[in-house]
Structure 1
Amino acid sequence: MTTDLNILERNNVKIFGQGSRPMILAHGFGCDQGMWRHIVPHFERDYRIVLFDYVGSGASQLHHYNPIKYNHLSGYAQDVLEIMDELDLKDAVFVGHSVSSMIGLLAANQESQRFGDFVMIGPSPRYINDLPDYYGGFDRTDIDELLNMMQMNFYGWASYLAPIVMNNTERKELSDELEKTFCSRDPLIARQFAETTFLSDCRGELKHCSIPTLILQCSDDSIAPIEVGNYLHAHLQGSTLRLMNAKGHYPQLSHPEETASFIQQYLTAHH
């Protein structure tokens, strides 16, 4: 346990809600805890909500960013466990968006008693194809091009990627918000987080997870295609796969009602 820094300040942790059971909401790459603002009102009456920003995101303390530590998703998982230890969370509902699903999985594989239920929104254990056995949606050259673009023209990369991954063309304000969030990052940190995310491979970790899991699979998701959702469902024991009408990779922003409703149905049925 680290005592030389305030973990809650480091990760800009916010705690509120009227319930006793903890629900920790973990944002994805290029985002921050503000991404949950439409989901929180559905749960704050019944849960103790914990929001945070990963180091390098949102209002976290940037001077704690360590490129060696955060060169692997386990560095982020360590921070999640430190937050949970600090708040003494047990039987928590962990809601992870995108890469946070695997960060949460790595954390749970170390300290499973802190986790009661998993909700994974648009998760992927591996973004790069490993054909013929595994389809992740990207070739290695796609990822290299993306990382290269981030390095050469960070703001151009953000304006290119945001509308593609949001995939709600009729609601331009959504991709505008995402682009703005991307652009508010330190470009070097954002690029390293992208590299750590898109080159990660957590397939071998899936068999160690015993936490009941809800997988929310969006339709027409350019980051986590349906094949990935099916793969996770097949390899995570005790998992439930739900297909959403929501398009794109950010249903908590584009379709918060549907997202919250699926989570509520799942948690009610399991408790």
Structure 2
Amino acid sequence: MTDALRRNNVRVTGESGRPMVMFAHGFGCSQEAWNLVAPRFEAGHRVVLFDHVGAGGSDSSAYVPSKYDSLDGYATDVLEILEALDATDVVFVGHSVSAMIGVLAANRDPSRFKALVLVSPSPRYTDENGYRGGFRRSDIDAMMDALDANYLGWSRVIAPAIVANPDRPALGERLTDSFCSIDPTIARHFARVTFLSDNRADLPLVSVPTLVLQCRDDAIAPEEVGRYVHAAIKESRFTLLNATGHVPNLSAPDEVADQILAFVA
């Protein structure tokens, strides 16, 4: 295995020689977040799952704060994985912050990508000058203070709110367990990079077909944000899912898979 494949705990399944679909997880998660979606693609695709450095089974010793001070470091990892796999015409499916990581990677080397699927994306989480990201800067600062003071306690409170399916508490518990499995130091740094990022200027540069999947009642990336992403990416498609919350790959995996399969067919 190359360093990139080992570092990011890359797992490849499905049919060799078939079109490739790469799934990227969001903050606080690992590749296991796609376990209910990815198997739907194995019959007709080569499926790539991986962990961002610091998450899941990745090599946490490879986490260099200076590299990951922006989302560009994660985009570099994506491109290195694809290079190691000698992959082109890849459908990249990115959830939450990984949606913007996919945008950055595709803008840097569009020859590697056939399409992007952006699940619950947000190019900027804070409001600014007519743009509504869903949070005030003071909200983010308060969240970071809470995260710094007690990461595990913060995770137990925030994870169920992110999932936002109170009638299905097992979903919140699953996400809480995922949050709590990550090294708190790395999680705090990644949270700052995520919630203070601004990738609005990168959206008009996207040159590959793009599908935006938006949830209802998403407290992290409201519908207005998803529609902003759609408007900013030329000729993109927008689908408002019946799913609620911010993690439809856990709460509505069949709906997510159906929409992606229809898009790439």
Superposed pair shares fold, TM > 0.5:
yes
How far the C-alpha of 1:78 sits from its partner, in A, is 0.4
Q: Which residue of 1 aligns with 2:254?
A: 257
Aligned equivalent of 1:145, options 132, 142, 146: 142
Aligned equivalent of 1:73, options 40, 46, 71: 71
Is it true that 1:158 corresponds to 2:155 in the alignment?
yes
Hey, what's the Cα distance between the residues in 2 that align with 1:29 and 1:252? 14
Hey, what's the Cα distance between the residues in 1 that align with 2:123 and 2:145? 23
How far the C-alpha of 1:190 sits from its partner, in A, is 0.1
Q: Which residue of 1 aligns with 2:103?
A: 105
Q: Which residue of 2 aligns with 1:89?
A: 87
How far the C-alpha of 1:265 sits from its partner, in A, is 1.4
- SS in structure 2 at match of 1:95: strand
How far the C-alpha of 1:26 sits from its partner, in A, is 0.4
> Would you say the 8 A contact 1:210–1:238 is kept in 2?
no
Hey, what's the Cα distance between the residues in 2 that align with 1:17 and 1:106? 26
How far the C-alpha of 1:29 sits from its partner, in A, is 0.5
How far the C-alpha of 1:74 sits from its partner, in A, is 0.1
Provide the aligned length of Structure 1 versus Structure 2: 264
Q: Which residue of 2 aligns with 1:9?
A: 6
| Counterpart amino acid of residue 192 in structure 1 | H
Hey, what's the Cα distance between the residues in 1 that align with 2:133 and 2:87? 33
Matches within 5 A, 1:191-202: 191-202=188-199
Matches within 5 A, 1:165-176: 165-176=162-173
How far the C-alpha of 1:42 sits from its partner, in A, is 1.0
Hey, what's the Cα distance between the residues in 2 that align with 1:187 and 1:145? 17
How far the C-alpha of 1:207 sits from its partner, in A, is 1.3
Hey, what's the Cα distance between the residues in 2 that align with 1:265 and 1:106? 24
Hey, what's the Cα distance between the residues in 1 that align with 2:160 and 2:177? 12
| Counterpart amino acid of residue 206 in structure 1 | L
What is the RMSD of the two structures over their aligned residues, measured on CA atoms? 1.1
Deviations 1:165-211 (A, max 9, x none): 10000111100010111011111100000000000000011111111
How far the C-alpha of 1:145 sits from its partner, in A, is 0.8
Q: TM-score, normalised by structure 1?
A: 0.96
4+ aligned runs moved over 6 Å, structure 1? none
How far the C-alpha of 1:238 sits from its partner, in A, is 1.6
Hey, what's the Cα distance between the residues in 1 that align with 2:56 and 2:87? 23
Q: Which residue of 2 aligns with 1:129?
A: 127
- SS in structure 2 at match of 1:30: coil
- SS in structure 1 at match of 2:36: coil
Hey, what's the Cα distance between the residues in 2 that align with 1:200 and 1:179? 24
Q: Which residue of 2 aligns with 1:60?
A: 58
Aligned equivalent of 1:222, options 210, 219, 223: 219
Q: Which residue of 1 aligns with 2:210?
A: 213
How far the C-alpha of 1:131 sits from its partner, in A, is 3.0
Instruction: Give the fraction of aligned pairs with identical amino acids, expressed as a percent.
Output: 49
Hey, what's the Cα distance between the residues in 2 that align with 1:142 and 1:185? 23
Q: TM-score, normalised by structure 2?
A: 0.98
Hey, what's the Cα distance between the residues in 2 that align with 1:8 and 1:18? 19
How far the C-alpha of 1:156 sits from its partner, in A, is 1.1
